[in-house]
Amino acid sequence: MSSVIQILSPQAEELQARRRELADLRRKLADKELELSTENAQLHLFERRYQNVVGQLYAELDQVKAQVMGLASKVFPKADNFREEAESAREQAREFQEESPEAEKPGKEFNPPENLKKLFRRVAKRIHPDLASSATERERRHDLMAKLNQAYDGLDEEAIRSILLEWEAEEPAHEKLELGEQLVRVVSQAAQVRKRLHAISDELEDLTLTEMFQLKKNIESAELEGRDLLQEIADDLEEKIRKTKTQIRDLAYDFI
């Protein structure tokens, strides 16, 4: 029994090799996008927890500081710096109040199930902006990718599946390209994916250097030792508020 062996042209062989390479890069990209989205979601959750525990305390501390500076400016009317510091403290208080969640008590951890991670990778490989063949398509893919990250942040499996259905309903038709054109497109896509992989590595590194990320790590380390560092920060703030209120009473007495 004879068998037919298909002999590919050098260009066709190169295209196959490049497609295998691109498929591997897409898998790596989906994994890195998942890692970045997970880190951002974990940090977002911690920020909400942090604001829930100490945000209002910082706002209260700045408010009482503003009262101290306001009274000081009346006791020492020629000292302009007291008025400036009072306004600065009021502004800080407003910022903390705006950042604080409304009666929100988030959990301590962001633990998406494996099936959700798998779904994220699957959708990311399909819709990623770096696989676009036009500016219009890239913009649409970018919007869907933003929705994907938001849905993953909310652990919303239904929303992620809806994104995939939305993409499949309007997925661009494959163009009939010559062999050389296909090769050029695959090489271009691979280059874009590599560029994004480097960008994600940079984003992850930058994330670990932020003050909030470092605080999160310190609090997590303290929890392993049986300490509630976040509550310790809150207790320290409450003590500062108490002392500052005492200053207000003393200044008010001096002013009277």
In this structure, the answer to whether residues 208 and 148 fall within a common structural domain is no
In this structure, the answer to whether residues 101 and 178 fall within a common structural domain is yes
Contact 164, 126 (CB under 8 A): yes
Report if residue 45 sits inside a domain: yes
- pLDDT for 55: 78
- Block mean pLDDT (10 aa), the chain, length 256: 62 90 95 96 91 82 72 59 59 60 59 95 94 89 95 95 90 75 91 96 96 94 92 90 78 59
- pLDDT for 163: 95
- 212: containing domain: 10-111+173-255
In this structure, the answer to whether residues 21 and 40 fall within a common structural domain is yes
In this structure, the answer to whether residues 135 and 165 fall within a common structural domain is yes
Phi-psi region of 201 (alpha: psi -120 to 50; beta: other; left: phi over 0): alpha
Q: Report the alpha-carbon distance of residue 42 to residue 110 in Å, rounded.
A: 5
Using the 3D structure, point to which of 172, 191, 214 is the last residue of a domain.
Answer: 172
What's the pTM? Answer: 0.76
Show the CA angle centred on residue 225, arms to residues 222 and 230, nearest 5°.
Answer: 30
Separation of CA 71 from chain center: 41
In this structure, the answer to whether residues 46 and 106 fall within a common structural domain is yes
Residue 174 CB neighbours (<10 A): 7
- pLDDT for 241: 85
Using the 3D structure, point to which of 122, 149, 172 is the last residue of a domain.
Answer: 172
- pLDDT for 1: 47
Separation of CA 44 from chain center: 6
In this structure, the answer to whether residues 178 and 166 fall within a common structural domain is no
- pLDDT for 115: 95
| Total number of domains in the chain | 2
In this structure, the answer to whether residues 245 and 148 fall within a common structural domain is no
